[in-house]
Structure formats: C-alpha cells, structure tokens
Amino acid sequence: MVTDEVAGSFKPAKATSGIKVADLDSESALTHRPGKEQVESTREMAEETIPLLVPQAKETIGDYEFGGKGGGWLAFSSLDFVGTTMASPSLFLQTSSFLTRFTQNPSPPSRQNLFASRHNIRCCSISATSSSSAPSKAFEIPWGCEIESLESASELQQWLSDSGLPPQKMGIERVDVGERGLVALKNIRKGEKLLFVPPSLVITADSEWSCAEAGNVMRRYSVPDWPLLATCLISEASLMKSSRWSRYISALPRQPYSLLYWTRSELDQYLAASQIRERAIERITDVTGTYNDLKIKIFSKYPELFPEEVFNMETFRWSFGILFSRLVRLPSMDGKVALVPWADMLNHSSEVETFLDFDKSSMGVVFTTDRSYQPGEQVFISYGKKSNGELLLSYGFVPKEGTNPNDSVELSMSLDKSDKCYKEKLEALQKHGLSSPQRFPLQITGWPLEMMAYAYLVVSPPDMSQKFDEVR
C-alpha cells in the first residue's frame, strides 16, 4: 500500500528488481529442495538461455522505504490492495491453514474527555528497539467495534446507501474466510462490475477534515499521504458522531489484527526462521519514528488541535494498523491512495485476479468479477500476488496451508569479493539495476530465469569476461 514521498527529504523511494517476496519457514524451504536431476536441468537451461538480459529494476508490490532508521515520516514505493481480516499471534498459530466533504459541527465535543468511557483493551508494547516509547499498558480506544461485529457493519451499509451508494448485490455476513465478508445476495455473473462507491464516499489525502484547522496545519507541513491519513483517521474518530465518517469508523475493528501489536518476544518466537521478522521489526520501529516525528514537528506546537490524550502512540498504532490492512491505490484516480468504505469488507483469495479501481464511466470505485457467484457465496478480490509472509506482514493473516500458489522463499545471491572479475561482474549487474547481494523468489513450482542468469554470472570464469554484459 503506499505513497512515493520519503519522510523528511521526500525523495522518491527506490524501486527494487524482481518480485519482493517473503520466505517460508526453514523446514518448508528444505522440504522442497530440487533434486540432482533438477539441478542439472537448471544448469542446462541456464546455458541455453544465456545471453539473457536481467530486467530493469521495477516497482514492486508491497515494498516500502522510510525516511531513516528509527524515525521519519512514512513513505512507500507501491501499494498493497485493500484488505480486511487480520490475525493475532495466537490465531496465527492456531490456523496454520490460514475525507470528500465533511459536515462542520460548530461545537464538537471535547477530545480530552473522550477517553473516559468505553471498554478497555490491552495493546502490546512496541519493543522493537530500546528507544521505543510505548510501554505495555491498558489503553482505551473509544471507537470502532469488535472485529466480527455485524451490527456496526449493517449500520455502515445503511449510512452508505443513504449517502449515495447504489443498491448492492452483496451483503455483509460472518464468513469462514475472515470474520466478516461480503456475500452474494443474488446471482453474480462473471465479468460483472460491482460496488460503484462514489468519490464522495472515498477518503483520500485531498479529503476535507471535520476539524478543518487541523487538516490545514498538516498540509502546511507537507506531510505525506500515509501519516496524513493516519492523523486524519484519529481526528475523525475522536469527534465521534460529530464526524461525517462516524458510521464508517464505528465499523472498523477496535484493535486490528496486525504485526504492529506483536511484542518483540512474539516476533522472535513465531517468526524465528522468517525474513519477515526483520521487516516487521523495521515497520514497527518506523511507525514509532513517524509518530515521534509528527509529535516533535507539529503536535507539540499545536496542542489545542492535537492533544496527546488523543494523538498518541497507541492511537497511531491503531490508525496505521487500519491503513496497512485497508488502504488501496486507485490507478485510474491518478494513483491516489484511499480508504474505500464497504469495499474494504472484501476478503482476499489467491484464486481470483480482480482488483479495485476507479471506473470513470460510472464515476465509482468498482471491481470486475473473474468468476460467477451464487447467492450465499462469499465474494473475493485479490490483494496482490503475495507470499504468505507478505500477507502476514501487511494484513496479519496467513492463508490455509497449500492454498497460496504465490507463496515463496527468498534466496539471496551475491558475488565473491575475492573473484578476479568482481569489479567487471558488479558493473554488469549495476548496469541492469541489480546489486550484490540480490534476492530472488523461489516457489514450489520453480524459480525465475533471472536468478539462473545471475548464478551463471557469479560462477563465470575470467575467460568469459567479454560476455558479462550479455547476462541479463
């Protein structure tokens, strides 16, 4: 999910080569090692496919870059697709198989007093670094609902219908895949467009805030889309029913299933053999750094607009958890990132290849089905071709074992610095946007030809130096 600004400096995030994927656990990786015949076949294929050209570096789904270790305003290089159901560490273990125009209120309620009611929930501490400022403690989030709540979701649908959402062929129900999901109410044909959420019901960085002064301050500081939307979400939530978006926020989970809520010990224990562990720690650290950046540069200067009782690490953990799981990039809206109410109730399936986008002819956010649905069947979209690790990192769930054909393990390859032709080989790689080391995705079904070409370059002797530039 993601914008292209980088915290502080706002430089473009660097793209990486190939597909950025997460790894399986070490046991699974060993289980699917190729045999001797496969290795020989790979060698022969590599020799037949040389010379190849390694593709130019390109933007990757789910990859991101921040403004600096331990701090900086969030920025990403590409966008995950909208998601819903997330998983806590315990559920993760138990199931290995798996803004627009606001109504201005002349006298909104006092934000400082909002946290004196509602039920307590316990948020895990961010302990990724010793400098983490969020201790483990009981904290009250006075908005949202239990993740499986249908009542709040039904009220959301009624509000959306009253606000311009056309009649739907789907309704929200409890489902097997995800706690809540959209289920077909009528026969749905393959190739049929659904949803048609109008722009007035889509929240983007350009949307107006109920507290217009707070929104104007954030924009004066040129805050990038992600932290801007995270702050906007908290601002609207804190106004409760005074916000136009109160029905939407009431239907959001009070505590989203997200790795942002995992403790360091949980990350160490459950992701010990996964490269996702380090990426999760980096994400937690950078979310903390983003909040600290905003607090120092903006919130502390305007305490009447951003009181710490409302804008704090715990509420930012919540808002970023919501964004990670629900924010989507809409290519036909100039690539804007957006929260799309109702559409974000759709769950993911690796068996479909349909995505959300803005349809200019109908002037609404839609998706086109790639299969038919009978009444009672859950309707799915794709969050992208992601490994189990990527899905866990961004959305907090893992599909049922063996159901994700995009699951993969990363293999890191590098040049030997003692190689007599190290300099020439490195220049050949850099010419095509590659580096040493370089990661490649390995799937049960095979491996990329680019990886074989890379391997061939690594082991090529000096007498082949004239052909180094041909390897791609």
User: Domain containing 391 — which CATH number?
Assistant: 3.90.1410.10
Instruction: Please indicate, yes or no, if residue 81 is contained in any of the structural domains.
Output: no
Name the domain boundary from 363, 395, 427.
395
Does 210 lie in the same domain as 322?
yes
Does 322 lie in the same domain as 438?
no
Does 412 lie in the same domain as 366?
no
Decide: 101 and 235 in contact? Cβ < 8 Å.
no
State how far the Cα of 426 lies from the Cα of 406, in Å rounded to an integer: 30
Query: 137 forms bridges with which residues in the sheet?
Result: 123
Name the domain boundary from 362, 395, 428.
395
Does 353 lie in the same domain as 280?
yes
Share of the chain above pLDDT 70, in %: 69
Instruction: Please indicate, yes or no, if residue 4 is contained in any of the structural domains.
Output: no
Instruction: Please indicate, yes or no, if residue 72 is contained in any of the structural domains.
Output: no
Per-residue pLDDT of the chain (472 residues; tens, 9 = 90+): 333 232 332 222 222 222 222 222 322 222 233 344 443 444 444 344 333 333 333 332 233 232 333 344 443 333 333 333 334 443 343 333 222 222 333 334 444 444 433 222 222 222 333 333 333 445 668 899 988 888 898 899 999 999 999 999 999 999 988 789 999 999 999 999 999 999 999 999 999 999 999 999 999 999 999 999 999 999 999 999 999 999 999 999 998 989 999 999 999 999 988 889 999 999 999 999 999 999 999 999 999 999 999 999 999 999 999 999 999 999 998 899 999 999 999 999 999 999 999 999 999 999 999 999 999 999 999 999 899 999 999 898 988 888 898 888 888 899 999 999 998 889 888 888 888 999 888 887 788 888 888 888 898 888 887 777 665 5
Sign of dihedral through CA atoms 22, 88, 150, 249?
Answer: negative
Strands 170-174 and 203-204: unpaired
Name the domain boundary from 341, 367, 395.
395
Does 437 lie in the same domain as 412?
yes
Does 429 lie in the same domain as 382?
no
Domain that holds residue 323: 89-395
From the list 127, 69, 50, the residue with the least C-alpha distance to 293 is 69
Distances (CA, A) of 453 to 2, 186, 372, 423: 31, 51, 41, 18
Does 228 lie in the same domain as 142?
yes
pLDDT value of position 308: 96
Instruction: Please indicate, yes or no, if residue 7 is contained in any of the structural domains.
Output: no
pLDDT value of position 142: 87
Does 385 lie in the same domain as 434?
no
Which tokens go with 349?
A: 């399936």
Task: Report residue 422: phi and psi, to 5°.
Answer: -55, -50
pLDDT value of position 441: 83
Decide: 140 and 115 in contact? Cβ < 8 Å.
yes
Instruction: Please indicate, yes or no, if residue 153 is contained in any of the structural domains.
Output: yes
State how far the Cα of 276 lies from the Cα of 86, in Å rounded to an integer: 16
CA dihedral 378, 384, 385, 391 (to 10 degrees): -80
Does 364 lie in the same domain as 246?
yes
Query: 438 forms bridges with which residues in the sheet?
Result: 413
Decide: 210 and 105 in contact? Cβ < 8 Å.
yes
Task: Report residue 330: phi and psi, to 5°.
Answer: -110, 100
Instruction: Please indicate, yes or no, if residue 44 is contained in any of the structural domains.
Output: yes
Instruction: Please indicate, yes or no, if residue 206 is contained in any of the structural domains.
Output: yes
State how far the Cα of 11 lies from the Cα of 73, in Å rounded to an integer: 12
3-state helix, strand, coil in the chain (%, to 5): 35, 15, 50
pLDDT in tens, 409-466: 888 899 999 999 998 889 888 888 888 999 888 887 788 888 888 888 898 888 887 7
pLDDT value of position 470: 65
Largest CA distance in the chain: 79
Does 433 lie in the same domain as 390?
no
pLDDT value of position 206: 95
Instruction: Please indicate, yes or no, if residue 301 is contained in any of the structural domains.
Output: yes
Helix or strand run (H / E) with residue 347: strand 347-348
CB-count exposure of residue 309 (10 Å: 0-12, 13-18, 19+): middle
Query: What is this structure's pTM?
Result: 0.68
Q: Which residue has the tokens 């750094």?
A: 289
pLDDT value of position 295: 97
Strands 120-123 and 137-140: antiparallel
What total number of domains does the chain contain? 2
Which tokens go with 214?
A: 């707070």
Does 427 lie in the same domain as 385?
no
Does 120 lie in the same domain as 39?
no
